[in-house]
Amino acid sequence: MAVSLLNNGTTTTGTGVSNAVTPNTASEASEMFTKLLVAQIQNQDPLSPSDPAQFVQQLTQLSQTEALQKLSTLTSANSSILQSMQVLSLGAQVGSDVMAQSSQVRVDGTTPVSGQVVLETSSTNTNLVLTGDNGEKYTVKLGTQAPGNVPFTIDPSKLGLKEGTYTMAVETSTKETPAIDIQGRLNSVRISATGGVVLNVANLGEIDPGNITAFNGKPALAIQ
């Protein structure tokens, strides 16, 4: 009879018999291993006893299983701590103006929205194209641009944009398609049902923290 312990379960093979057991905790794994080890000793052939090296191998597997379980628990705890620290850190930035990458923008129909793109090469014909839900396109002409930051403003009044969400894309003479950064106020920070951190940013809605490219600070309070 041979007994083998694995990460997610223990398989005992004998004469046409195979059982799989998945211990939930390190203590359960130890108890199960002991029972299997005793069963193996009791059922071994007296005339052909098991190789002692097998027992050493099984003990090693048990130790590895327990170590992995402890590491998994520790990693989960550290992840929760880091997530809490991230929420606290980002929560302190609520009210700040941020820049975030996005392929969509929300407009209220009246308030201009600022943003920028970064070009790697010069472009003689540069446009920011917005597409509404109905497929209608609106163009912000940026003209000839040198490599580097290219700021722009989306003015709903001038473009005739109604309140809603629009898809954005940049057209250049070199066919370059740079990422688009939109500026907005960080309104709130929350943890989603799946445990991720979600930011609510004006002009963008809910986004992932990884989309943030810059924190521009909180606007100065007007002096009465």
Maximum separation of any 2 CA atoms in the chain, in Å: 98
The pLDDT of residue 8: 42
Residue by residue, what is the 3-state secondary structure of 66-81?
HHHHHHHHHHHHHHHH
pLDDT tens figures, 90-125: 778 888 999 999 999 999 999 999 999 999 999 999
Residue 45 tokens read as 């052939």
Q: Please report which helix (H) or strand (E) contains residue 152, including its range.
A: strand 148-154
- pLDDT below 70 — which residues of the chain? 1-30, 32-34, 36-37, 40-52, 54-56, 58-59, 61-63, 65-66, 69, 73-74, 76-88, 221-224
pLDDT tens figures, 15-32: 444 444 444 555 666 676
The pLDDT of residue 45: 62
CA-closest candidate to residue 201, choices 99, 109, 133: 99
Domains located in the chain, CATH noted? 2-90 (no CATH), 97-215 (2.60.40.4070)
Average pLDDT value for the chain: 79
CA-closest candidate to residue 191, choices 76, 98, 94, 83: 83
Residue 70 tokens read as 């402890």
| Distances, alpha carbon 132 to alpha carbons 61, 90, 129, 135, 200, in Å | 59, 31, 10, 5, 22
Residue 107 tokens read as 């407009």
